[in-house]
Structure 1
Amino acid sequence: MNVLIFGASGMVGQGVMRESLAAPDVESVTVVGRSPLALENPRLHQQIWPDLMAEEHISTLPDNADACFFCLGVSSAGMTEAQYSRLTYDLTLGIASALVKKNPAMTFIYVSGAGTDSSEQGKSMWARVKGRTENALLKLGFANVFLFRPGVIQPLHGARSKTRSYRILYSVMAPLLPLLRKWFPDSILSTQIIGNAMLNAVRRGYPKAILETVDIARLGR
């Protein structure tokens, strides 16, 4: 398969990029970001978009992508709903809408988060915006859309969050996460499990569009 990754410099994006490059059935990996990655691989192709909202870049993407792994995301801390919506809903739907016109046969996987509000009516601002984004993606017309809602994630193989508060949290929790994953294998994910789950969703699908932590864990194994 040929895959397209948005947000490969983030923790989840790093994980799925690593698993994609390690998978024998993945022929090419195209990553899109604002700055280049310090990584070289004959199957890796990088596209640098200074402005991710500029839709004219879509024409430069390969036409043969079987899947798009959309791992871009920002923390809502300190943002108004309008600001967060622009960087979450507007950015995601702008890219996805252009992609579905280019290649509706692809599988689109969006990394959301545990606690996302599908009703769009809850008290949590970030959960409402994520829910609105999920609901809109399901209506676009892709062959398959899967919405991943991970909770606690153990970063492996050098994967690292770009959000400072998350890096601190993961650093504090680092000694406990391996034990928690052993005791609660369906509750604590790793970047490797999430990456494999995304690839498996493309390979053989999944019975439902919204994948909570337990679904991601099982599909990733």
Structure 2
Amino acid sequence: MGKTRSVNKVIITGTTGMVGEGVLICCLNSPEIDAILVINRKPCGYTHPKLKEIIHQDFFNFAPIEHELSGYNACFFCLGISSVGVAKEPYYKMTYTLTMHVAETLSRLNQNMTFCYVSGSGTNPNGKLSWQKVKGKTENDLMQLPFAQVYNLRPGFIKPIKAQKYAHTFYKFINWLFPIGRAVSKNGFCTMQELGEAMINTLSHHNERRVLEGSEIIKLAKEPS
């Protein structure tokens, strides 16, 4: 007899953005994922038998929807903003404070959860740039929460899936650079499919707390299910 597969129920945030949408598509297409809950401020535009969506405006207060958030064994946290043109205080609030509120809530409600946080290439708690420090602090503090596993993923340039609705339009003009960049630096270039599959494959691991750079994301994506 073959090995019995665990039931995987996943929460995904940020599915109205490029990264979250790409991860959602990967999960919808994966036989390894049985149920998906997405939490958004506006509808993501996807329907599927294994998909449930909650529209919730205040990500700093999950109390009204807490009863909907238990019974999941993974969270793929893809919500975030760029630091470009954003002052330090609001960036800290939207990157660190928001992420930690969501993570602390989910770690309390789901004891066996794997938490995957999409951070970014160049993240460094001791870096010179403010965004590097904020992302680094977020990574470090997530590691301290009582999750079964924590993965901080640091992709650089991400090549979107063709079917994506929310990919930035400029990708149409710069995707030709991907093979060149990939040849020069695997750490800096991965595909959305690889990022999504890497997250899904974390669910076959146990008791890990890891930071994954680009080349490690690619390697994890290639693991057999």
Report the TM-score when normalising by structure 1.
0.89
Partner of 1:128: 133
Distance 2:144 2:107 in 1: 11
Where does structure 2 lack aligned partners over 5 or more consecutive residues?
Answer: 1-7
Amino acid at match of 2:156: G
Aligned length: 214
Q: How far off its partner does 1:38 sit?
A: 1.5
2:90 to 83, 94, 103: 83
Percentage of matched positions with identical amino acids: 36
Alignment deviations for residues 83-114 of structure 1 (CA, whole Å, 9 cap, x no partner): 10000000000111111111121000000000
3-state DSSP of counterpart to 2:21: helix
Matched, 1:219 2:220: yes
Alignment deviations for residues 16-69 of structure 1 (CA, whole Å, 9 cap, x no partner): 111111111211011011001211101000010111111214413342211000
Distance 2:58 2:109 in 1: 19
Partner of 1:31: 38
Partner of 1:7: 14
Matched, 1:186 2:186: yes
Where does structure 1 lack aligned partners over 5 or more consecutive residues?
Answer: none
Distance 2:179 2:157 in 1: 12
1:144 to 134, 149, 152: 149
Task: Answer yes or no: is the 8 Å Cα contact 1:58–1:99 preserved in 2.
Answer: no
Task: Answer yes or no: is the 8 Å Cα contact 2:21–2:166 preserved in 1.
Answer: no
Q: How far off its partner does 1:205 sit?
A: 5.0
Matched, 1:155 2:160: yes
Distance 2:156 2:40 in 1: 24
Matched, 1:66 2:66: no
Task: Answer yes or no: is the 8 Å Cα contact 2:151–2:212 preserved in 1.
Answer: yes
3-state DSSP of counterpart to 1:113: coil
Task: Answer yes or no: is the 8 Å Cα contact 2:194–2:218 preserved in 1.
Answer: yes
Task: Answer yes or no: is the 8 Å Cα contact 1:4–1:67 preserved in 2.
Answer: yes
Task: Answer yes or no: is the 8 Å Cα contact 1:159–1:191 preserved in 2.
Answer: no
Report the TM-score when normalising by structure 2.
0.88
Partner of 2:23: 16
Task: Answer yes or no: is the 8 Å Cα contact 1:107–1:144 preserved in 2.
Answer: yes
Flag the 1:75–1:167 CA change in 2: closer, same or farther, 3 A.
Answer: farther
Task: Answer yes or no: is the 8 Å Cα contact 1:186–1:218 preserved in 2.
Answer: no
Distance 1:215 1:26 in 2: 22
Partner of 2:109: 102
Partner of 2:3: none
Alignment deviations for residues 3-23 of structure 1 (CA, whole Å, 9 cap, x no partner): 000111211111111111111
- Root mean square deviation, CA, Å: 2.0
Amino acid at match of 2:158: I
Partner of 2:201: 200
Amino acid at match of 2:120: G
Amino acid at match of 1:132: K
After superposing the two structures, state which structure 1 stretch, 10-19 or 83-92, moved more. 10-19
Flag the 1:200–1:206 CA change in 2: closer, same or farther, 3 A.
Answer: farther
Partner of 1:52: 59
